[in-house]
Structure 1
């Protein structure tokens, strides 16, 4: 397969502690959400086949997008108070004592939030709010909604007792939405008057590549066709990670993560 798994490419692109944490977290997520579910659930891709409506950046399109993501993540959208806010903020105090969790967007000198998760409100619904400017970018919008909905799967369904943003990012991979979050992790901005980059989420670019490689390995997809949906930089990290995994199958999911070392 074009040297994908050649010995020259068997060095892991992420550090050992991060690799071991990710593999252990992945196993835990599979135990929580079901091995058969992971192996058989179709992935979502940025095509009209999976989002069969004309996206126009309106609140209506936003809700339609949220319905698809909620179904993919096995969440009843009626259990969510889903809305938009106009200004990204660093901290919001809830009248009901709920703690806020944010997903930063670092495409500015002062990082701003992209989405907010509050937990359940007084009506029993989960409060989830998305920064309005994200409606301009449908792929980024999917990634943000998926991350905030992942808080519901972990915190809202009481699978964890404390917030872990990296685990929340990884959860999107388990539900087949990782292509969106990975692609938005790092974007280069190049046009006639602008040079720079934007970032989204908590896992780093190479970590997304490894997470998706673990996902493909677990699903026994040696050369998945969905790789062409990845941006070039994520695709490169995915291939390097896959090369490492298939060159070290005796280690994958077998070594124990020890945060003290």
Structure 2
């Protein structure tokens, strides 16, 4: 009968085990009380009470507010900016990234650096135009501080870093920022770019969020905030987890 139909798991069994082991590792490392009391952060004034203008001051505000949400206290972090936007040459030619000039470029939304006892987060200027992506990037970079800067892990692990940001409640931002589409245009040229942000696939992000929702007994209306792809994977994950004891 249709109501007994086994719910489809949107991730592989190996991925499911990695997610759950990773989240349980974080729970043990942060303490169960701290981990269990974290909550989902929504793109609302409840968490980021500001009218965004897309400038550097917004990024400063988001960094400060996100540090408060992630309970990062008594730590000074420098915020710097770099550019990875299309370049217009004198003849009107559009170069999509600096890779077209030297053949080697790895695009990044943000970077975290510790040097000479100073902590710095670098933000790609294009992120200033997209508040959701900017919050996702800053939460990820702050997760580097929580894992590496506080000596919870010895070697950098970008996947675990993404999972940490999700555990701190930023799954909506990270999931909705996973794929981005942008266009550029001048008097003679028009083009578009598809870029990826973050490290975990949407299915893994969605399952992680659903697992946390069940574990923490949350009542957040996730579907209100997720894009269509993320909503599909989240619903599949949520339905699957309802069948697990």
Q: Shorter-chain TM-score: which interval? A: 0.7 to 0.9
Look up the SS of the partner of 1:41 in the other structure.
coil
Task: Check conservation: 1:38, 1:219, Cα contact below 8 A.
Answer: no
Aligned to 2:169: 176
Aligned to 2:89: none
- Superposition TM-score, scaled by structure 1 size: 0.77
Aligned to 2:110: 115
Task: Check conservation: 1:70, 1:149, Cα contact below 8 A.
Answer: yes
Query: Unaligned regions of 5+ residues in structure 2, if any?
Result: 86-96, 184-189
1:235 to 214, 231, 239: 231
Where does structure 1 differ by over 6 angstroms across 4 or more consecutive aligned residues? 193-196
CA shift in 2, pair 1:146/1:188, >3 Å: same
CA RMSD between the two structures: 2.7
Computing the radius of gyration from Cα coordinates, the structure with the larger value is: 2
Aligned to 1:208: 205
Distance 1:181 1:175 in 2: 11
Aligned to 1:60: 57
1:248 Cα deviation from its structure 2 partner = 2.4
Distance 2:9 2:39 in 1: 28
1:36 Cα deviation from its structure 2 partner = 2.5
CA shift in 2, pair 1:14/1:6, >3 Å: farther
2:33 to 33, 36, 50: 36
1:77 Cα deviation from its structure 2 partner = 7.1
1:38 Cα deviation from its structure 2 partner = 3.1
2:195 to 178, 198, 223: 198
Q: For structure 1, which segment, 194-203 or 172-181, has the greater mean C-alpha deviation from structure 2 after superposition?
A: 194-203
Task: Check conservation: 1:58, 1:135, Cα contact below 8 A.
Answer: yes
Distance 2:228 2:6 in 1: 17
1:194 Cα deviation from its structure 2 partner = 6.9
Distance 2:177 2:4 in 1: 30
Task: Check conservation: 1:118, 1:128, Cα contact below 8 A.
Answer: yes
Query: Unaligned regions of 5+ residues in structure 1, if any?
Result: 89-105, 250-261
